A = this chain, B = another copy of it.
Amino acid sequence: MKATVTVMLKNGVLDPQGKAIAHALGTLGFSGVADVRAGKVIELDLAETDPVKARAAAEEMARKLLANTVIESFRVAVEE
């Protein structure tokens, strides 16, 4: 079972990577880009076959390792 953990900086936390991307897009001629936020995505291939347990495991992994919950928030999506 596949679980996808998406980790983003919390709103209000400065995102220099996002700002750099927004600036680079402007330089390349892309207009109408109001804001850019950059984050990480971690795709986990889990042996667990129960979606509820897989989600719980992925959330624990995110809390313990994948995300710094002081400045980052995360969301988990589970697909079979």
Contacts and interface: CB of A to CB of B under 8 A. Distances in A.
Nearest to A60: B30
Nearest to A39: B41
Interface string A38-80: 1111111111100000000100110011100000000000000
Copies in the complex: 2
Interface in A8-45: 8, 18, 21, 24-25, 28, 30-45
B8 A65 contact: no
Given A32-B46, A40-B41, A41-B41, 10 more contacts: A6-B41, A18-B42, A21-B66, A24-B65, A30-B57, A30-B61, A32-B47, A33-B46, A38-B43, A39-B43
